[in-house]
C-alpha cells in the first residue's frame, strides 16, 4: 500500500497543503518547528485514529480554525478524516461515510519510528501490547472484534466490582465471557508472536551481531492455568481492589538479549537499534502475510542511530520496497544513506515545497 496524494487542511501549523509523494523514499526537510513531524503525524492518524504525540485531537487543529481535514488517495481507496473542536469526527471512505475508524485504519498500515520509540523497551507493558496488537490487528481479522467484546465486558465487570454489585452467579457469567474472548485474543497473539519472532531474530542479527534476541509472550495470567481458573482464583482480590487483575489486558512481551531483559543488558544506542529492527520485522512479516508493504514514518533518524546503523536501516527499508517518509533538518544528512535518490520535500512557514 502507498499514498499517492495527501492533502492537509488546517492541520497543526499547515493551512492548505497538497503533496504527491514518491512510491518509495520521501525525505522531508526543514528547520526546527517547521512542521516535519506534523506531516508524519497526519499520516499516522489515518492508520491509528490518533496522534503519537501527547495532547488530544484538539491540539492537532490549527489554532486559528475549528477543524482539520486529512485526505489521502491510495491505489485502491480514497480516505478522509475531519475533526472539529466540538468533538465531531467525519470519516470518508471511497466517497461514502464510514462509521468506524478501524475500517480506515485497516487500509493504512503504518509503522512509526521516532526518538521516543525506544520507550517500547524501557517503559511498562502497554507500549509492548500496542506493538504486538498492531500486527495481530492487521494480520488476523477476528482479533479486533474479539478485543472489542473483551474490553466491553471487562468495563462492565469492573464497574460492578467497584460498586460491590455483582452477585456470585452474575460474576460467574462475566468470568465465562471474559475467559471466552480472552483465550481467543491470547491465542491470536501467541500465533502472531511465534511467526514474528523469526523475523525479529533475523533482523536483530544484522543490527546486533553478537547478541541473541528472544521474544516471549506473557499472557497476562499464570499460563499453567486456564483463563477462567485464573480469573476465579483472583475474584476475592478483584472485589477488594475493584478491578479485574488478570487477563489479556495485562499481557506483556518479554524481550531478552542473551537471556536477560534487554533494558538491563543493552546500551541505549543498542536499544534504539533493536527498536528499529522490531519495526522492520513487523513490516517484513506484514508483507509476507498480506503481500503488500506498510508505510514507514521515520522521525529524526540521525538523532537515533549512528551512521552505520542509519545506512543499514535505510537499506533494509529499501529492501522492503515500502513507502517511506523520513525527516531530517537538511537533505545532506540522509540522502546518501539510500541507494535510490529520495524525493525531497522542504517544509517552511506552514507550506511544503517539492
Ligand atoms: N494547533 C496548532 N496550530 C498552529 N500551530 C501549531 C499547532 N500545534 C503545533 N503548532 C506548531 O507547529 C509547528 C510544527 O511542529 P513540528 O513538531 O511538526 O515541527 P518539526 O519540523 O518536526 O520540528 P523539530 O525539527 O523541532 O522536531 C511548531 O512550530 C508548533 O509550535
Nearest CA to ligand 1 atom 4: 13
CA–centroid distance, residue 129 to ligand 1 (Å): 29
333 CB under 6 A from ligand 1? no
ipTM of the complex: 0.98
Pairing relation of β-strands 351-353 and 260-261? Answer: unpaired
33 CB under 6 A from ligand 1? yes
Atom of ligand 1 nearest to the CA of 59: 1
Nearest CA to ligand 1 atom 31: 33
Predicted confidence at residue 165, as pLDDT, reads 62
Atom of ligand 1 nearest to the CA of 62: 3
CA–centroid distance, residue 131 to ligand 1 (Å): 26
Nearest CA to ligand 1 atom 25: 32
CB 171 within 8 A of CB 125: no
For residues 147 and 166, what is the distance between their CA atoms, to the nearest angstrom? Answer: 23
34 CB under 6 A from ligand 1? yes
CB 16 within 8 A of CB 309: no
30 CB under 6 A from ligand 1? yes
pTM here? 0.96
Listed in sequence order, the residues at least 6 apart from 308 whose beta carbon sits closer than 8 Å to its beta carbon are none
CB 163 within 8 A of CB 239: no
Give the distance, in angstroms, between the CA of residue 119 and the centroid of all CA atoms in the same chain. 13
Assign 3-class secondary structure to the chain. Answer: CCEEEEEEECECCCCEEEECCCCCEEEEECCCCCCHHHHHHHHHHHHHCCCCCCCCHHHHECCCCCEEEEEEEECCCEEEEEEECCCCEEEEECCEEECCHHHHHHHCCEEEECHHHHHHHHCCHHHHHHHHHHHHHHHCHHHHHHHHHHHHHHHHHHHHHHCCCCCHHHHHHHHHHHHHHHHHHHHHHHHHHHHHHHHHHHHHHHHCCCCCEEEEEECCCCCCCCHHHHHHHCHHHHHHHCCCCCCHHHCEEEEEECCEEHHHHCCHHHHHHHHHHHHHHHHHHHHHHHCCCCEEEECCHHHHCCHHHHHHHHHHHHHHCCEEEEEECCCHHHHCCCCCCCEEEEEECCEEEC
Is 158 labeled as ligand-binding?
no
350 CB under 6 A from ligand 1? no
Q: What is the largest CA-CA distance in the chain?
A: 67
Atom of ligand 1 nearest to the CA of 347: 21
Cell numbers at 266, concatenated: 543493552
pLDDT digits (tens, 9 = 90+) for 294-345: 999 999 888 778 889 999 999 999 999 999 999 999 888 887 889 988 999 9
Nearest CA to ligand 1 atom 17: 37
Is 205 labeled as ligand-binding?
no
Predicted confidence at residue 164, as pLDDT, reads 65
Is 30 labeled as ligand-binding?
yes
For residues 324 and 322, what is the distance between their CA atoms, to the nearest angstrom? Answer: 6
13 CB under 6 A from ligand 1? yes
Pick from 139, 118, 112: nearest CA to 42 = 112
Please, which residues bridge with residue 6 across strands? 19, 72
Atom of ligand 1 nearest to the CA of 63: 3
Pick from 67, 151, 73: nearest CA to 108 = 73
74 CB under 6 A from ligand 1? no
Predicted confidence at residue 224, as pLDDT, reads 96
Predicted confidence at residue 82, as pLDDT, reads 97
Cell numbers at 145, concatenated: 472484534
Predicted confidence at residue 166, as pLDDT, reads 61
**pLDDT tens track, the chain, 354 positions:** 999 999 999 999 999 999 999 999 999 999 999 999 999 999 999 999 999 999 999 999 999 999 999 999 999 999 999 999 999 999 999 999 999 999 999 999 999 999 999 999 999 999 999 999 999 999 999 999 999 999 999 999 998 888 766 677 788 899 999 999 999 999 999 999 999 999 999 999 999 988 999 999 999 999 999 999 999 999 999 988 889 999 999 999 999 999 999 999 999 999 999 999 999 999 999 999 999 999 999 998 887 788 899 999 999 999 999 999 999 998 888 878 899 889 999 999 889 999
Nearest CA to ligand 1 atom 5: 13
For residues 188 and 141, what is the distance between their CA atoms, to the nearest angstrom? Answer: 10
Nearest CA to ligand 1 atom 27: 32
Is 32 labeled as ligand-binding?
yes
Pick from 40, 18, 21, 32: nearest CA to 326 = 40
CA–centroid distance, residue 34 to ligand 1 (Å): 6
CA–centroid distance, residue 13 to ligand 1 (Å): 6
Amino acid at each position: 500500500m502507498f499514498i499517492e496524494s495527501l492533502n492537509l487542511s488546517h492541520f497543526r501549523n499547515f493551512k492548505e497543503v497538497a503533496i504527491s509523494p514518491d512510491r518509495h523514499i520521501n525525505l522531508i526537510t526543514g528547520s526546527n518547528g517547521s512542521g516535519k513531524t506534523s506531516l508524519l503525524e497526519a499520516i499516522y492518524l489515518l492508520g491509528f485514529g490518533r496522534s503519537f504525540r501527547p495532547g488530544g485531537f484538539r491540539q492537532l487543529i490549527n489554532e486559528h480554525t475549528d477543524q482539520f481535514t486529512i485526505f489521502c488517495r491510495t491505489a485502491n481507496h480514497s480516505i478522509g478524516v475531519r475533526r472539529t473542536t466540538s468533538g465531531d469526527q467525519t470519516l470518508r471512505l471511497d466517497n461514502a461515510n464510514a462509521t468506524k475508524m478501524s475500517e480506515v485504519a485497516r487500509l493504512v498500515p503504518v509503522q512509526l519510528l521516532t526518538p521516543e520509540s525506544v520507550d517500547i523497551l524501557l517503559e511498562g507493558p502497554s507500549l509492548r501490547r500496542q506493538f504486538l496488537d498492531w500486527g495481530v490487528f492487521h494480520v488476523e481479522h477476528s482479533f479486533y472484534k474479539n478485543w472489542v467484546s473483551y474490553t466491553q465486558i471487562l468495563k462492565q465487570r469492573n464497574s460492578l466490582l467497584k460498586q460491590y454489585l455483582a452477585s456470585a452467579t452474575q460474576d460467574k457469567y462475566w468470568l465465562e465471557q471474559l475467559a471466552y474472548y480472552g483465550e481467543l485474543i491470547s491465542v491470536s497473539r501467541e500465533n502472531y508472536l511465534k511467526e514474528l519472532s523469526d523475523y525479529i531474530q533475523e533482523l536483530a542479527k544484522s543490527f546486533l551481531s553478537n547478541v541473541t534476541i528472544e521474544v516471549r509472550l506473557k499472557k497476562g495470567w499464570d499460563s499453567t492455568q486456564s483463563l477462567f481458573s485464573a480469573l476465579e482464583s483472583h475474584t476475592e482480590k478483584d472485589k477488594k481492589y475493584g478491578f479485574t487483575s488478570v487477563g489479556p489486558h495485562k499481557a506483556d512481551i518479554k524481550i531478552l538479549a542473551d537471556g536477560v531483559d534487554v533494558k538491563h543488558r543493552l546500551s541505549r544506542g543498542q536499544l534504539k537499534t533493536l527498536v528499529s529492527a522490531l519495526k522492520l520485522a513487523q513490516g517484513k512479516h506484514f508483507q509476507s502475510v498480506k503481500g503488500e508493504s506498510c508505510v514507514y514514518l521515520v522521525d529524526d533518524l540521525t538523532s537515533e542511530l549512528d551512521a552505520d546503523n542509519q545506512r543499514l536501516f535505510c537499506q533494509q527499508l529499501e529492501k522492503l520496497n515500502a513507502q517511506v517518509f523520513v525527516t531530517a533538518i537538511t537533505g545532506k544528512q540522509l540522502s546518501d544513506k539510500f541507494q535510490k535518490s529520495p524525493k525531497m520535500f522542504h517544509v517552511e512557514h506552514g507550506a511544503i515545497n517539492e
